[in-house]
A and B are shown apart, each in its own frame.
Chain A
C-alpha cells in the first residue's frame, strides 16, 4: 500500500503492481498445476496429486494426440509458463523497488515486531488495517518472494544439470534440486492458502488489487469495537 497522504485505512495499488500481481498469480497456478502432473510421472514421495487438480489436459485425448497420457502437455505448460513467471516477478520486483513500496511498506521487519504481531494474530487479536502491513504480513510477502526465487533457481538446476551444473551441485545434485523444488512448492501452496483465506476475510483487499483502491471509510466501523493493536513499527 502506498501511503496516500499518509492515511491508513486506504489501500491503493498502482496499475503496474496490479498487472504484475495477477500475471504472477496466473503463472504460479499454471506452474503448480503442470508441475503436479509432471511430479506424478515420477513421484518423490509415496503419493500422487489427483489428476483433476493438475494441468495437462485429458489423458485419453492426449494418448490419441501424442501417445502420451498428458505429461508432454504438462511439460509444455511448465516451460511456457516459466517465462510468464520470471517476467511478472521481475516486473513486480522492479516496480516494488523503484516506487519505494519495498523500502516503505515491506521493510524493515524485525524479529520483535514479528513475534508481537504473530502472537496477536495467533490469538485473533491482530486487526487488519487496509493500507498498512503488520510484521506477520511483511514476513509472509517477503517469504513468498524468497520461495519464488528458490523455485526459479532450483528449477533452473533441474532444467540444466549439465549447462548450469554448479547451480545443480549447490542443491545437492539433480535429485536434491528436485526435492528443493518440491519443498518450496509446498511453501508457496501454504502461502496461497493463507493469502486467499485472509482475502476472503477482508474482501476489500481484493477490491484494491482489482480496481486499485479501497478504503475502510466506506463501511462503518461499529462503535465500541476495539480498534486494534497498531500494526507495524
Chain B
C-alpha cells in the first residue's frame, strides 16, 4: 500500500524541458501574462526557486513563536463531517490493524521499545478545536483529541535538544518537523476526530495534529518516529513544496 510514483526523468521529459527552456529564454520579461511562455520548468529557475524556499524556511523559523497558540474556536464551529484529503482515493487509505500495529522509535530516544495502540490510548489526552489550513487555500475547523507530542517525547526520553523529528507513515508518506514545532503545546498525537476514534481514512491509529503547520505537514498513519539532528526529508517537500510550511 502507498506505493510511490517513480519520479524519474525520461528522455522525453528532457526533450520537453529543453524545448520549454528555449521557449522560456526567448520570452523572459513576458513571463507570466503572455501564456505559454513559462520559464518555470527550466533547471536554472528551479534552482533559484529552491534557494528562495530555503530562505523562506529560515524566515518562518524566526517568525515561529513556541508559545503563541493557534486560535481556538467554539466547539459548535467544528465540522462533523471532515473533508477527506490525500493523494490517493479514500478506498486506498491504509487500514492499520490495532492488534499488530507497532509504533517504532529510533534515533536520539532513550527508550526505543515500540508502542501498541492500547499503550498510546492510555496516554493523557486533551482536545483542541483548531483550523486546518490546506496549502491549496481551503480550511476547515475540526475537533481533535490526543496527547501533546511533547508529553510523548518526554515519556520516551527523547533528546528534545535535537533539531528535528522525522516520521514515516503507512501510506508511503514521510515528513520532518522542526523541534520547536514538535514541542509546541498544541502539537498533539490525535487519536480522535470529532469525539470518535480516528477513522482509518483520517490516519488510524493517530495523526500528528499540528495547528501551526499547513495541512500537508500533518502526518497520518504514523508507523515510526525518529529524533535526529539531520533534516528529515518531506514527502511534499520532495515534490517542490516549502519545507517549513508554518502558518
Seen from chain A, the residues whose Cβ lies within 8 Å of a Cβ on chain B are 26, 29-30, 32-34, 38-39, 41-42, 44, 50-58, 60-62, 64-68, 70-73, 75-77, 79-80, 83, 159-163, 165, 169, 174-175, 178
Extra A-B contacts (15), CB below 8 Å, given A79-B52, A161-B71, A161-B131: A26-B31, A38-B137, A42-B134, A42-B138, A50-B35, A54-B32, A57-B38, A57-B40, A58-B40, A67-B7, A72-B239, A75-B242, A76-B240, A80-B49, A175-B139
Check: B22 CB closer than 8 A to any chain A CB: no
Of A55, A58, A80, A163, which is within 8 A of B246 by CB?
A: A163
* B window 71-127: CB within 8 A of A: 71, 87
Q: Which of B32-77 contact A (CB under 8 A)?
A: 32-33, 35-36, 38, 40-41, 48-50, 52-53, 56, 63-65, 68-71
- A80–B133 CB distance below 8 A: no
Q: Contact at A58–B16, with CB atoms within 8 Å?
A: yes
Of B29, B50, B68, the contact of A163 (CB 8 Å cutoff)? B68
The reply on B212 being an interface residue by CB < 8 A is yes
Bound form: Cα–Cα A33–B36 in Å: 12
A161-B71 Cα distance, complex, nearest whole Å: 9
* Least CB distance, B6 to chain A, in whole angstroms: 10
The one of A58, A64, A76, A165 that contacts B10, using a Cβ cutoff of 8 Å: A64
Given the complex, which residues of B lie within 8 Å of A41, measured CB to CB?
A: 136-137
Kindly provide the distance from the CB of B170 to the nearest chain A CB, expressed in whole angstroms.
18
What CA separation (Å) do A60 and B29 show in the bound complex?
Answer: 23
A-B contacts, CB under 8 A, total: 140
Please tell me if the beta carbons of B16 and A60 are within 8 angstroms of each other in the complex: yes
Q: Is B17 an interface residue (CB 8 A)?
A: yes
Q: Which 4 A-B pairs have the closest CB atoms?
A: A33-B32, A52-B35, A57-B40, A72-B240
B residues near A (Cβ < 8 Å) are 5, 7-10, 13, 16-17, 20, 29, 31-33, 35-36, 38, 40-41, 48-50, 52-53, 56, 63-65, 68-71, 87, 131, 133-139, 211-212, 236, 238-242, 246-247
Give the docked Cα–Cα distance between A54 and B40 (Å). 11
Q: How far is the CA of A212 from the CA of B104 in the complex (A)?
A: 66
**Majority SS of interface residues in chain A?**
helix
Are B32 and A32 in contact (CB-based, < 8 A)?
A: yes
Query: In the complex, what residues of B have CB within 8 A of residue A67's CB?
Result: 5, 7, 87, 239
Query: A155 to chain B: closest CB distance in Å?
Result: 12
Partner of B242, one of A38, A76, A174, A178: A76
A77 touches B35 (CB 8 A): no
A56–B63 Cα gap in the complex (Å)? 27
29 A-B contacts (beta carbon < 8 Å): A26-B29, A29-B31, A32-B32, A38-B136, A54-B32, A55-B40, A58-B40, A62-B240, A65-B9, A65-B240, A67-B5, A67-B87, A70-B40, A71-B135, A72-B236, A73-B40, A73-B41, A75-B135, A75-B242, A76-B53, A80-B52, A160-B246, A161-B71, A161-B133, A162-B70, A162-B71, A162-B211, A162-B212, A165-B68
Closest residue on chain A to residue B71 by CB atoms = A165
A126 → B minimal CB distance (Å): 28
**Pair A66/B247 contact, Cβ less than 8 Å:** no
**Are B68 and A162 neighbours in the complex by a CB distance under 8 Å?**
yes
* CB <8 Å contact, A62 and B33: no
From A161, which residue of chain B is reached at the shortest CB distance?
B247
List residues of chain B with CB within 8 A of the CB of A61. Answer: 13, 16-17, 20, 41
Contact B64 A75 (CB under 8 A): no
Task: Tell me which of A30, A68, A163, A174 contacts B63 (CB under 8 A).
Answer: A163
- A68 CB to closest chain B CB (Å) equals 5
Q: How far is the CA of A79 from the CA of B10 in the complex (A)?
A: 29
